[in-house]
Structure 1
């Protein structure tokens, strides 16, 4: 189980770098259609933006699938541990049954062969009142001991039966958890394949842009009039504003699918990294980050709040005041401060 989880995390940590390295020298996955040539430079840039948007969606979906797999592997581990414990209890209960079984067998055989252990038999075979009392006392002791043994046997068999039921249920749960993990693992591989193809098409489109178009796509790191020092006045340690301050130190770093820093990021990786610098461990994906912290109305946004975009919440940034956000936008566009109005707004949270 630990090996499965470590393998998953290792794949996740290297996936983006491998994707970029491979697709830089590839025209796309086998069978994939090449990117059609745009008619104008403006069309080329728009094509790049559209393809990048698709790749960003797939990137977040793959990250969600990875997180789901990690949760399923955790559930499988817990189910395996429970099954192991239940099986150990069953083995111990069966051992107790075996310990009492010879005594029960002897009692059953004696009864079958006609052993006389009741008081009437003592009266019939006694030669004197004292002998009668002695025999009745002995029979009482034997009866009490036999009954005690029988009671213990019934108890251990009941325990064994309950343990067997628990072990069977735990085994079923472990198998179900393993099946779910396998299904999510297959889904993750499928999404990673889709992302690989999308990345290839993005890089192909980017390669067809002129140097001027690439520079125009990248834009400037800060909008005109952006005043970082004024924005960060009254900084409170551990606050969203302090996370924003940390994130602003990464302006100019490249966007890379699946990257979480410290010098390259995707959108949710930048948010996670920025808040980690101020001691807050937020979830990895944009959809999970949208459930963290507390909701904030758009009109109540403050610098350091986390803002989400698109209906499926496939993009995220950190609010930087005056309708601006810090974000890792897309391939070919470094981490920058940009207007929020350029992206369909969804919601916001305060961490």
Structure 2
């Protein structure tokens, strides 16, 4: 029978773990963009219940972690688009300025032609014939008239071209400026969203860590589990792998077994789920996206029944967890806080899809 002191310690553990989990759940549930969390219930009555509550909260924090990573990626994309739009707007403004300067260069000739037309000038070959004193003077005047007419027509043609170019440049500059403003506004909105998600994640992490700190050493060990399932032989698996980018990434990832799970970590000594996948494929020269959702759209789809070692497997309806298939229904993954990188059965996690990189 447990001693009185042991019972008191267990009671304090239940209260502290339950309180920490309740705080974390409230933090997560307070944001509309975050996952839906049920109202907290009574504090766990057993150590097993406390561990399960910790697992649930860790799962929710992982969802927030992936959401924050997605928001960061979206923000990076929007900031880059805003920078491109700003450059395009500056370039369009420069073209517009150049077009306006061209208009200024032709303006004097256009003004002279307009004045002559307004004054009723009729300088032509007939006028030259009537006012000439000699045939040679007539020829000279006719040549000058032809030259002036040709030059004026050419200037008028050039003026029309630069005017059209200026109008086009003006429209482009206005459009580019509008695009730059829109891109900047989109980036600002994503910054706000990212800050919210990071705040939610920090609150969830604090709840998880507080709850973890109140578990007994035995409960922590039970939660962490073993690095490999019973009967699993890493060396045998590695010898049987057919060379390829996926199997080579699996082999690289297996060297990280035992590394701790840390939100947002990409290795080489600590990982979150998508960080491990990204790191493993990077070791074989393949660049893959950062988050589980992005990774689920990368590569080639693979049916669950056609899985081969090295395929990338995704879990949960919103795709918020990922691992690398290790054959025989097993996967290599960075599971959750308190559970190091390990090889584990896939069956305990709701399967979503798989891809082959």
How many Å apart are 1:209 and its aligned residue?
1.3
How many Å apart are 1:208 and its aligned residue?
2.0
Q: Secondary structure at the match of 1:348?
A: strand
Q: CA separation in 2, counterparts of 1:306 and 1:138?
A: 82
Q: CA separation in 2, counterparts of 1:36 and 1:86?
A: 64
Q: Identify which of 91, 94, 98 aligns with 1:85.
A: 91
* Pairwise CA RMSD: 2.1
Q: CA separation in 2, counterparts of 1:248 and 1:129?
A: 103
Could you say which residue in structure 2 is the equivalent of 1:198? 204
Asked if structure 2 preserves the Cα contact closer than 8 Å seen for 1:238 and 1:279, the reply is no
Q: CA separation in 2, counterparts of 1:304 and 1:70?
A: 29
Q: CA separation in 2, counterparts of 1:217 and 1:271?
A: 22
Could you say which residue in structure 2 is the equivalent of 1:158? 164
Q: Identify which of 217, 223, 226 aligns with 2:223.
A: 217
Q: CA separation in 2, counterparts of 1:241 and 1:75?
A: 36
Could you say which residue in structure 2 is the equivalent of 1:66? 72
Q: Secondary structure at the match of 1:307?
A: strand
Could you say which residue in structure 2 is the equivalent of 1:272? 278
Q: Identify which of 226, 234, 246 aligns with 1:228.
A: 234
Could you say which residue in structure 1 is the equivalent of 2:297? 291
TM-score (norm 2): 0.86
Could you say which residue in structure 1 is the equivalent of 2:113? 107
Asked if structure 1 preserves the Cα contact closer than 8 Å seen for 2:253 and 2:332, the reply is yes
Asked if structure 2 preserves the Cα contact closer than 8 Å seen for 1:62 and 1:191, the reply is yes
Could you say which residue in structure 1 is the equivalent of 2:16? none
Asked if structure 1 preserves the Cα contact closer than 8 Å seen for 2:241 and 2:309, the reply is no
Asked if structure 2 preserves the Cα contact closer than 8 Å seen for 1:238 and 1:278, the reply is no
Structure 1 residues 74 and 237, CA gap change in structure 2 (3 angstroms): farther
Q: Which runs of 5+ in 2 are unaligned?
A: 1-21, 31-39
Q: CA separation in 2, counterparts of 1:35 and 1:110?
A: 93
Could you say which residue in structure 1 is the equivalent of 2:354? 348
Could you say which residue in structure 1 is the equivalent of 2:81? 75
Q: CA separation in 1, counterparts of 2:117 and 2:307?
A: 86
Q: CA separation in 2, counterparts of 1:99 and 1:288?
A: 54
Q: CA separation in 2, counterparts of 1:153 and 1:36?
A: 82
Deviations 1:213-267 (A, max 9, x none): 1111011111110011111114455521111111111111110000000100000
How many residues in Structure 1 have an aligned counterpart in Structure 2? 325
Does residue 315 of the first structure (1) align with residue 336 of the second (2)?
no
Q: Which moved more, 1:71-80 or 1:120-129?
A: 120-129
TM-score (norm 1): 0.87
Q: Secondary structure at the match of 1:279?
A: coil
Q: CA separation in 2, counterparts of 1:97 and 1:44?
A: 78
Could you say which residue in structure 2 is the equivalent of 1:50? 56
Could you say which residue in structure 1 is the equivalent of 2:139? 133
Q: Which runs of 5+ in 1 are unaligned?
A: 1-26
Q: Secondary structure at the match of 1:262?
A: coil
Q: Secondary structure at the match of 1:326?
A: strand
Could you say which residue in structure 1 is the equivalent of 2:195? 189
Q: Identify which of 204, 208, 212 aligns with 2:214.
A: 208
How many Å apart are 1:132 and its aligned residue?
3.2
Q: Secondary structure at the match of 2:239?
A: coil
Q: Secondary structure at the match of 1:233?
A: helix
Q: Secondary structure at the match of 2:347?
A: helix
